[in-house]
Structure 1
Amino acid sequence: MLSPAGLDRRTLLAAACCMAARGGVVRASEPSPPARIVSLDYGLTETLLALGIAPIGMVQVGAWADWVVEPALPAGMIDLGADREPNLELLAAIRPDLIVTTPYLAAIRPVLERFAPTRTFSIYAPPGGRPYELSIAATRELAGLLGRAAEGEALIARAEARMAEIRARLRAMADIPLLIVSFLDAHHVRVYGAGSLFDDTLKRCGLANGWRGPCNYWGFATVGIEVLAAVPESRLVYLEPISGDVLTKLAGSPLWNSLAFVRAGRIQRLPAALMFGMLPSAMRFAALLGEHLSATERSSG
């Protein structure tokens, strides 16, 4: 006897057994990962690019080459304007599938949610202190969300390999304290200590951070250059961008020229690396540090 669907009892039984062997349910196809992504943070943007995904839009496109440098942004990246006040009309027009951001923009997240599902990844937020580890966790979460789990693990492995390579190369410099700074003007610096990506990177490279003073949850302190005299045995490493006006004023500053590391010529200028980035910035900073410190060691030897 046939069922209303035209199947006999034996056929229906066979189909039921087949379904049971497969878990007893007919599964719908998995939804596709988000394709049109907007990033409101440089660290998330560099991570997306490292995963092989180019966001369709981001904030402050013009400043990328000054602060992040590499990788170069793909052509056609839509500039959504200032990070605190992204262009909402443009955001509505490009119709993203996903917006990725950080707690820095928590105040406008309800607004962002009107345009697309919004995910927040916390790397630098109170209480802070573990940006490298939090970058690993965020990389895995982001990669999983976008169907790029393998690429995420590969990025994490590349970062660890970079740290190990620099650690081996700079073993002879392990005991030299380094002061990592950005100049704000000729009298003040932002010095990076505990809780910064740079400090975490130094540790993984087997290098010593000369700054042991208090820092905010971003991992830096703003101090006058005279405060750096407290670590006279250190080597100062300062990052671009820095204006020529600041360098000119420093050259003529009696205070600056009295500092022990200045008198001894223990100063290193590094190209820009993003201080508030994620694993790609950590790798760039480590590579630049390895290249320049190795050159210094060879020339002094």
Structure 2
Amino acid sequence: MRKFLFLLLLCLVSFASEKRVVAVDWTAAEILSFLEYKIAAIGDKRNYKIWVKEPNLDEEVIDLGLRMKPNLENLIKLKADVIIIPSFFEFNKNTLVQYANIAVIDAYKEGDLYENLIKATNKIAKIIDKESKAKELIEQHEKFFEKLLNEFIKFGDRPFAVVQFVDNKRVRIYGKNSIYGVSLEKLGLKNAIGDAFDFNLWGIATIPITSLFSIPKNTRLVVIEPNPVDIEREIKFNGIYRALGFFNDYIKIKPVWSAGGFISMQRFATMLLDGLR
């Protein structure tokens, strides 16, 4: 009986000491999920379910509304210990600091994206006392891609371009410093997109579809959903689509968050392999 009570006390102490962490931004939320840590609240939970989808959020995770302007009433009720925000939401810092400690952590910024993701993951791990867990999970992530390398060797003869349609005249295209670009590199695949376009901090450029004529003709196109364009119809009635030729064997992939972390990388790699098989 004493042993049972002692174990129960340990569990209660552990539960009580776990920090209530708020991730206003979805990237931080994914990193917390990667670290197997329960998020207390998130910005714009409703749209997270549409655009990010995975990792799934527990029903009890509180929705703080707009990421750029979180609901203060819900935040006050939550009594959070830490609120993680990216620097581009830092204009909220003076308001939010009244209710919890603020950690400004960026994964998407100048520099190498993969290194930035590792640093951001380690910073968040330090906040939640999961530094050894972070090291273990990052090592597992590296092994995941090492294992997939052999699967992708046979597909390395052609370059790849990852796009998402805005409409039938424009696409978002993902450069080497995007989550998709980093994944392609770790899979031993060549990204057909060089430095010809002006990419933002997320490695994304929005270009007219005619700009696709500038990439190698043997490029394998990867189209990220949701896709507002009926490609088959465009091929039939739009001479530009027919002339491009990329749509003869393009690969379609379900939504993967383009500003994600290691979980998004793994999902993209898995779905790309399924699409190539």
Aligned to 2:187: 205
Counterpart-to-counterpart distance in 1, 2:220 and 2:111:
24
Please state if 1:237 is matched with 2:222. Answer: yes
Query: Which amino acid in the other structure matches residue 277 of structure 1?
Result: G
Equivalent of 1:118 in 97, 102, 109: 102
Equivalent of 2:40 in 52, 56, 61: 56
3-state SS of paired residue (2:57): coil
Counterpart-to-counterpart distance in 2, 1:89 and 1:137:
32
Does the Cα contact within 8 Å between 1:99 and 1:119 map onto a contact in 2? Answer: yes
Q: CA deviation at 1:207?
A: 0.5
Please state if 1:216 is matched with 2:205. Answer: no
Aligned to 1:255: 240
Does the Cα contact within 8 Å between 1:34 and 1:98 map onto a contact in 2? Answer: no
Does the Cα contact within 8 Å between 1:131 and 1:196 map onto a contact in 2? Answer: yes
3-state SS of paired residue (1:45): helix
Counterpart-to-counterpart distance in 1, 2:176 and 2:200:
9
Does the Cα contact within 8 Å between 2:159 and 2:220 map onto a contact in 1? Answer: yes
Counterpart-to-counterpart distance in 2, 1:130 and 1:150:
23
Give runs of aligned pairs for residues 101-180 of structure 1, distance below 5 A. Answer: 101-125=85-109, 128-180=110-162
Does the Cα contact within 8 Å between 1:250 and 1:256 map onto a contact in 2? Answer: yes
Aligned to 2:11: none
Please state if 1:75 is matched with 2:54. Answer: no
Counterpart-to-counterpart distance in 1, 2:272 and 2:111:
22
Distance 1:209 1:75, change over 3 A: same
Which runs of 5 or more structure 2 residues have no equivalent in the other structure? 1-15
Query: Which amino acid in the other structure matches residue 201 of structure 1?
Result: S
Does the Cα contact within 8 Å between 1:130 and 1:200 map onto a contact in 2? Answer: no
3-state SS of paired residue (2:167): coil
Counterpart-to-counterpart distance in 1, 2:70 and 2:227:
27
Which runs of 5 or more structure 1 residues have no equivalent in the other structure? 1-31, 296-301
Spell out, residue by residue over 1:159-187, the C-alpha distance to the aligned partner (whole angstroms, 9 max, x if none).
Answer: 21121122221112223111101111111
Q: CA deviation at 1:247?
A: 4.2
**Residue correspondences, number:** 258
Q: CA RMSD of the aligned region, Å?
A: 1.8
3-state SS of paired residue (2:205): strand
Query: Which amino acid in the other structure matches residue 59 of structure 2?
Result: A
3-state SS of paired residue (2:53): coil
Does the Cα contact within 8 Å between 2:179 and 2:259 map onto a contact in 1? Answer: yes
Q: CA deviation at 1:34?
A: 5.4
Name the TM-score, length of structure 2 as normaliser.
0.87
Q: CA deviation at 1:248?
A: 6.6
Please state if 1:273 is matched with 2:256. Answer: yes
Q: How much identity, in percent, do the aligned residues show?
A: 27
Does the Cα contact within 8 Å between 1:33 and 1:145 map onto a contact in 2? Answer: no
Q: CA deviation at 1:216?
A: 2.1
Name the TM-score, length of structure 1 as normaliser.
0.80
- Computing the radius of gyration over CA atoms, which structure comes out larger, 1 or 2? 1
Does the Cα contact within 8 Å between 2:34 and 2:262 map onto a contact in 1? Answer: no
Query: Which amino acid in the other structure matches residue 148 of structure 2?
Result: I
Q: CA deviation at 1:129?
A: 3.8
Aligned to 2:273: 290
3-state SS of paired residue (1:184): strand
3-state SS of paired residue (1:182): strand
3-state SS of paired residue (1:189): strand
Q: CA deviation at 1:221?
A: 0.8
Counterpart-to-counterpart distance in 2, 1:97 and 1:51:
18
Give runs of aligned pairs for residues 6-21 of structure 1, distance below 5 A. Answer: none
Does the Cα contact within 8 Å between 1:41 and 1:58 map onto a contact in 2? Answer: yes
3-state SS of paired residue (1:122): coil
3-state SS of paired residue (2:193): coil
Does the Cα contact within 8 Å between 1:193 and 1:211 map onto a contact in 2? Answer: yes
Q: CA deviation at 1:144?
A: 2.1
Q: CA deviation at 1:87?
A: 1.1
Does the Cα contact within 8 Å between 1:196 and 1:219 map onto a contact in 2? Answer: yes
Counterpart-to-counterpart distance in 2, 1:283 and 1:204:
11
3-state SS of paired residue (1:208): coil
